[in-house]
């Protein structure tokens, strides 16, 4: 069996200033978003025809960062740990310790993109189609941050599993390193699928729909290897909170793909 290395959550200390690995992973996520977005602008002609510019990409990144941080933290508080944060409200601001909900972050980004759509006079789905392939690698970076922090550990696994891992901060049971599963599924695999799918011009809403369906299905599968949390619904032994929140994503994605198909027809 493997043992979690129990990394120091602080990557660099400069006097009173500490830079956490979790924060660095978010920085990596935002940088790759900008780099991949610039690549799309320069190498996929449909965006040049639509008048997209690098300056608009900068604005998208700014709005997206706000949506991710605010929405992700609010989602964690409301969906997963309302009782804890009700008794420890100041901990809501301690984002460097981890605790960001993807589904909350997604809602935050959707609101931020709606605000940007209004400002730029672009269709909301045109914007989400552009950013959808830029998201998965950022999700992978976030899951690696979870692994470094030793949080969101997996369910107990058979000790014969070659990559079963003990998380000493939890117990001495062999567990699935579910953070790495999610980095591979919701991060690398989803990125490859979306990047290839979005390489050709698609009807408006199709790429956004593919992202919602793809992430929702992969997250549903990955939840079977994560230690379940009861969340606000309390169904930890049947359907986890992550699975509940993925269901409307899948449904919305299917509707978008169907609507996009009708546009093409």
Residue 13: count other Cβ atoms within 10 Å of its Cβ: 10
- Backbone φ and ψ for 140, nearest 5 degrees, come out as -60, -45
- 10 membership: H or E segment, kind and range: strand 10-14
Q: Known binder of ligand: residue 122?
A: no
How many Å apart are CA 126 and CA 118, to the nearest integer?
12
Q: At what angle do helices 102-120 and 241-264 cross, to 10 degrees?
A: 40
- In this structure, which long-range contacts are made by residues 163-171, counting pairs with CB atoms below 8 Å and at least 24 apart in sequence? 163/2, 164/1, 164/2, 165/1, 165/2, 165/3, 165/4, 166/1, 166/2, 166/3, 166/4, 167/4, 168/3, 168/4, 168/6, 169/4, 169/6
Enumerate the known binding-site residues.
143
């Amino acid at each position: 069996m493997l043992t979690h290395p129990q990394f120091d959550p602080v990557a660099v200390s400069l006097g009173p200033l500490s830079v956490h690995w979790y924060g660095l992973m978010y920085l990596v996520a935002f940088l790759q978003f900008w780099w991949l977005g610039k690549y799309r602008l320069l190498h996929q002609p449909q965006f040049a025809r639509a008048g997209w510019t690098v300056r608009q990409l900068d604005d998208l990144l700014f709005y997206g960062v706000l949506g991710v941080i605010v929405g992700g933290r609010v989602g964690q508080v409301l969906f997963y740990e309302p009782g804890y944060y009700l008794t420890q409200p100041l901990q809501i601001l301690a984002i460097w310790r981890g605790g960001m909900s993807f589904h909350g972050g997604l809602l935050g980004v959707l609101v931020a993109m709606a605000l940007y759509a209004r400002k730029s006079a672009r269709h909301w789905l045109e914007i989400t189609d552009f950013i959808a392939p830029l998201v998965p690698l950022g999700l992978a970076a976030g899951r690696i941050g979870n692994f470094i922090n030793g949080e969101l550990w997996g369910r107990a696994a058979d000790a014969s599993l070659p990559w079963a891992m003990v998380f000493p901060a939890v117990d001495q049971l062999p567990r699935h390193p579910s953070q790495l599963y999610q980095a591979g599924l919701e991060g690398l695999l989803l990125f490859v699928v979306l990047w290839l799918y979005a390489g050709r011009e698609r009807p408006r809403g199709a790429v956004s729909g593919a992202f919602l369906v793809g992430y929702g299905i992969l997250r549903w599968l990955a939840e079977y290897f994560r230690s379940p949390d009861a969340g606000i619904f309390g169904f930890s032994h049947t359907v986890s909170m992550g699975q509940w929140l993925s269901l409307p994503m899948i449904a919305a994605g299917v509707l978008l793909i169907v609507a996009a198909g009708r546009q093409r027809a």
